[in-house]
Structure 1
Amino acid sequence: MTRHARKPSEPWPGNRPEPGRRSVLAAGGALGLAASGLLAGCGGDTKDGGGGDRFRAAFTAGGSQETLDPHVAPNFVDQARAKALYDTLATYADDMSVRARLAESWESDTSGTRWRIRLRKAEFHDGKPVTAKDVLHSYRRAADPATGSPSQVLLSAIDFDASRADGERSVLFVLKAPNFEFPTVLAGPGTEIIPDGTKDFREPIGSGPFTYVSFTPGGTARYRRWADHWDGAPHIAELEIVPANEESARLNALLSGQVHYAADMAGASVERLKKEGSTRLLTARRATAQQLLLRTGRKPFDDPRLVRAVQLGIDREALVRVALAGHGEAGNDLFGMGLRGYPEDLEPRERDVDEARKLVAEAGAEGLAVTVETSSVDAAWEPAAELMGRQLREVGLRLTANTRASSTYFSEIKTKGVAAFNTTSTLPVSDFLQQRVRGGAARNQTQYASEEFDALLDRARTTRGEQERLGLLARAQKIARDGSGLLVWAFSDANDAVGPSVSGLRAAPPNSHDWARFDRVRVG
């Protein structure tokens, strides 16, 4: 077997992606922080007991359907809550290289089908040890399509009948096919380790740095420091993750001292915070892939000429200037700029109004009305929709926006409409393609299907040689770029902000280990 043992701070060997961009979806919600009354009585002072022992973080919430089930964690707020309560076997560095977490080490055989995971000594909040049986239960559950884990497609490659516990702290995973990038799966969202047999998450038990206190779906989640965490106890005594669904509410709550941390600040707010000067920005450059999803399985975008017309009809540089206030970079209809498997040799997609107009005419679609789903979830989307509407009128398409409620946006666009805005934070390119572009994948919202693309993806994951594997991923990306209906029009910066009394947090892309590391925060 080929051994890959490491300390928690050591990256997984191999070619590293360059510092990257963003991958988990943004969250939803309807009420602002102040309007919700959730912080009533705080008096604008976020310090408790004179020592800054309670830390409050404001995120967009996901509405009444929220759960503390870590295997169903599509939104930023879900990810932050999961990170507080649970641990994963591994985690992502900023560049999407893989680092150990609950897994002390991993090793593969020469075929890439058998992987042995050795667990570090750790305990759940009820004092029971984290064992191989817990890992197998967690992965079986997350691999079940009925659960809805974002990593379901990746975990379904495990042959659970052949996989087994080999003692309390050793797991042997047998894969259905070789996968030399399997360590990336160990760090994926929705792969948190839960106690064997867990089905009810109303009073959850994990092995993370905080223990559960209380939670209201769409409302506040409260946690308490766990002194016995294997990676050291948090510095703060209590953590509250509070809902503030409008960006302006998060911004004002931070500036007024109601919260210590405001997630997901847009360009205009960033400029205001810079001028204000009393807060500190945590900016991960170009961390979020801003996307326009066109459903290629529905009319009118089942006609590839219209997909191409939209690609050529939008002005990406103008969208960055206006919708992102300059805080980002034009996209090229591909995910993962700068990461492993991204084809760096492709020229940028330039606007070509004449060619786009010609394609619209050939499709018999002149004057066609198209509705794009949008929301205030991301402050860039509504101005982007308005500007795209003006741009696409020049090529013969009439784009109008349908603004949906933040609290239900992401669940609704899974099934409704023909075009929608979306974002994805940094992920390993191979995992993103498996989860969101592969034919039939649960998160393939454009309904793209290509046997050629799927075959290249399979070959890449079963190829032992690193450079050959990356070449296959790049070829797959080039195929999907034109036909998938997934238009990456920009990469926006990920901006969070903290109050003046906060230390211990640094800028990091969502999905990475150091994003929302509230166990390391200090107040005062």
Structure 2
Amino acid sequence: MSTPRSRRNFLALAGTASTAGALALTGCGAGTGSGSDGAKGRPQRGGRFRALFTGGGERETIDPHAEALAIDMARTKALFDRLVELDASMAPVPRLATKWESDAEATVWRFTLRDATFHDGKKLVPDDVLFSLARILDPKATSHFAQSLLSVVDLKKSRSIGKNTVELRLTRPSADFPSLLGTLGTAIVSSRYDDPSEPVGTGAFRLTSFRPGRSFTAERFDDHWDGGAYVDELRILSAEAEARGNALRAGEAEYGYEMTPTFARTAEADGSVRIVTAEAGTAQAIVMKCDQEPFDNPDVTLAFKLLADRQKLVDVVLAGRGTVGNDMFGKGYQYYPEDVPQRRRDVAEARSLLKKAGVLNKTFSIFTSSVAAGFVEAATLFAEQAADAGVRLRIDQGSSETYFKDQLTKGAMGSHRSGAMTIPNYLNDRMLTESPFNASAWRRRDFDKTFAEAQSTTDEATRTQLYGELQRTVRDEGGLLFWGHADWLNAVASRVGGVKEAPPNTMDSGRFDKVWLA
């Protein structure tokens, strides 16, 4: 590393076609969403902005490394920044890092930091990045979302270089490493950060008050590196879907996160609020646990996939606002194998497979919840479709506050969805033997080995081939029935400007530093 930089020693990814796609290293203050942003005229400062999300009760947190709910993510996004964010196409774009570069083996990465200030007045320095990573990777902190994903970082060998560069060394090659830093739970905190109730971040807002399960209030941070927010005050509140819609119509809120297709249709018809749509923004699925009978038999999981009338599920559950799925995550994203034929409904073949497995005419339960729009409706409709082959499904509803945690241990079948993320991140988080959110209990060491090989491959064509093989394996043998990709529907008051059409888990989703009130 002491020799001058060259293409051999350092492959600069800034401004070139990288392994994760072309990187746009321009300023990202205005966001990357597309489409109309609502209110007419120029953005103006002032006012109070109220945003409504599904709540999580006492489980809600403003610890940016333990965020698990959408409402947590919106709050931490207001208070903190990441080195890197993901745009709507899942490409990494700069935030606190203005650029990055790696060696030819993708085992050493250097990130150049921008001039940013923490809420306590101290400047961002490389040691803050190293402290944040150490906190994320603390083995005692099992709730830290990105711990598994960033375990590739070798903290002992990573270091500061000067005042604005941090060098991160990895234990193995990772060609997609910048994308990992744009995922949930990767915010940069100050090295002085100690108490989650007293956040020290570089975000566009500074905390005023927080009550888990109730409310969050923050004020504009005028020294934010990106110019600060337009609104004076941000409030993020908990409310169920129907209450979110009623509050928007009554003028008691300016933003409603994840609205139902039914609400969207009604609102568009009467013009009471504006719907902001990110097409195919979430993946909807039925999950089957591969370590439990009868789904430890691949014939059974395949039979259930063949029972799904995907178009009807999209038409009924999503009110037509989405596209059919093909039992693989990430439709339209990098590494998605577009050449795989669309799976069609085949009741006769499904019935034959179920009879062969000895489970025909048996009753199973499907665990679901009202935690997400369409979960209960999809489970109910799929139960009707499964009945065509003599399969009886009983609907078992769980708590909306604990569903995603409960799903990991309860029921052999359940409702599942995922917001936008890169395909490698999805496989890492949900499909490896040690994945923390492996709801389908898919555990195969040969799969893990191929995934590690894909991550370490710097040749993009070979890496794409390997990820395609992994996706095909999950489609043919795994326990995920991806029946649809739903449009992501948020709602805003007509006087709101600056809200972008962004898939969940991307830079402009649940982002309020660039919203303004007419």
Q: TM-score, normalised by structure 2?
A: 0.91
Letter of the 2:14 counterpart: A
CA contact (8 A) 1:157 1:175 kept: yes
Give the whole-Å Cα distance in 1 for the aligned partners of 2:251 and 2:47: 15
Give the whole-Å Cα distance in 2 for the aligned partners of 1:414 and 1:222: 33
Give the whole-Å Cα distance in 2 for the aligned partners of 1:4 and 1:159: 21
What is the CA RMSD across the aligned residues, in angstroms?
A: 1.8
Pair 258,433 (structure 1): closer, same or farther in 2 beyond 3 Å:
same
- Shift of residue 14, structure 1, vs aligned partner: 5.2
Instruction: Determine if the alignment matches structure 1 residue 485 to structure 2 residue 494.
Output: no
Instruction: Determine if the alignment matches structure 1 residue 465 to structure 2 residue 459.
Output: yes
Give the whole-Å Cα distance in 2 for the aligned partners of 1:91 and 1:155: 15
- Shift of residue 252, structure 1, vs aligned partner: 0.8
Instruction: Determine if the alignment matches structure 1 residue 357 to structure 2 residue 355.
Output: no
- Shift of residue 293, structure 1, vs aligned partner: 1.4
Match of 2:336 among 339, 342, 361: 342
Letter of the 1:162 counterpart: K
67-76 vs 160-169, which moves further:
160-169
How many percent identity over aligned positions?
A: 39
Q: How does 1:367-386 map to 2 (within 5 A)?
A: 367-386=361-380
- Give the aligned partner of residue 14 of structure 2: 5
- Give the aligned partner of residue 148 of structure 1: 143
Letter of the 2:374 counterpart: A
- Shift of residue 137, structure 1, vs aligned partner: 1.7
- Give the aligned partner of residue 80 of structure 1: 74
364-373 vs 251-260, which moves further:
364-373
1:251-297 deviations in Å (ceiling 9; x for gaps): 11111111000110121111001112132111000010002111111
**2:72 alignment partner, SS class:** helix
CA contact (8 A) 1:63 1:408 kept: no
**1:518 alignment partner, SS class:** coil
Give the gaps of 5 or more residues in structure 1.
Answer: 18-49
- Shift of residue 12, structure 1, vs aligned partner: 6.0
Instruction: Determine if the alignment matches structure 1 residue 15 to structure 2 residue 24.
Output: no
Instruction: Determine if the alignment matches structure 1 residue 170 to structure 2 residue 165.
Output: yes
**1:420 alignment partner, SS class:** strand
- Give the aligned partner of residue 389 of structure 1: 383
Give the whole-Å Cα distance in 2 for the aligned partners of 1:364 and 1:468: 41
Match of 2:247 among 248, 253, 272: 253
Give the whole-Å Cα distance in 2 for the aligned partners of 1:353 and 1:16: 44
Give the whole-Å Cα distance in 1 for the aligned partners of 2:465 and 2:287: 26
Match of 2:270 among 270, 276, 284: 276
Instruction: Determine if the alignment matches structure 1 residue 242 to structure 2 residue 251.
Output: no
CA contact (8 A) 1:385 1:400 kept: no
- Shift of residue 333, structure 1, vs aligned partner: 0.6
Give the whole-Å Cα distance in 2 for the aligned partners of 1:382 and 1:293: 14
Q: How does 1:388-407 map to 2 (within 5 A)?
A: 388-407=382-401
Give the whole-Å Cα distance in 2 for the aligned partners of 1:140 and 1:349: 44
- Shift of residue 102, structure 1, vs aligned partner: 0.4
- Shift of residue 391, structure 1, vs aligned partner: 0.9
- Give the aligned partner of residue 200 of structure 1: 195
Match of 1:122 among 116, 123, 127: 116
Give the gaps of 5 or more residues in structure 2.
Answer: 1-9, 24-43
Letter of the 1:221 counterpart: F
CA contact (8 A) 2:45 2:231 kept: no
1:406-463 deviations in Å (ceiling 9; x for gaps): 1121221122221111211111111111111122111112110123322221122111
1:19-60 deviations in Å (ceiling 9; x for gaps): xxxxxxxxxxxxxxxxxxxxxxxxxxxxxxx98610000000
Match of 1:210 among 176, 189, 205: 205
**2:231 alignment partner, SS class:** coil
- Give the aligned partner of residue 500 of structure 2: 506
Pair 179,51 (structure 1): closer, same or farther in 2 beyond 3 Å:
closer
**1:402 alignment partner, SS class:** strand
Pair 151,51 (structure 1): closer, same or farther in 2 beyond 3 Å:
closer
- Shift of residue 181, structure 1, vs aligned partner: 0.9
Q: How does 1:8-157 map to 2 (within 5 A)?
A: 15=21, 53-144=47-138, 146-157=141-152
Give the whole-Å Cα distance in 2 for the aligned partners of 1:76 and 1:445: 19
Instruction: Determine if the alignment matches structure 1 residue 441 to structure 2 residue 450.
Output: no
**2:389 alignment partner, SS class:** coil
**1:152 alignment partner, SS class:** coil
**Count of aligned pairs between the two proteins:** 488
CA contact (8 A) 1:87 1:206 kept: yes
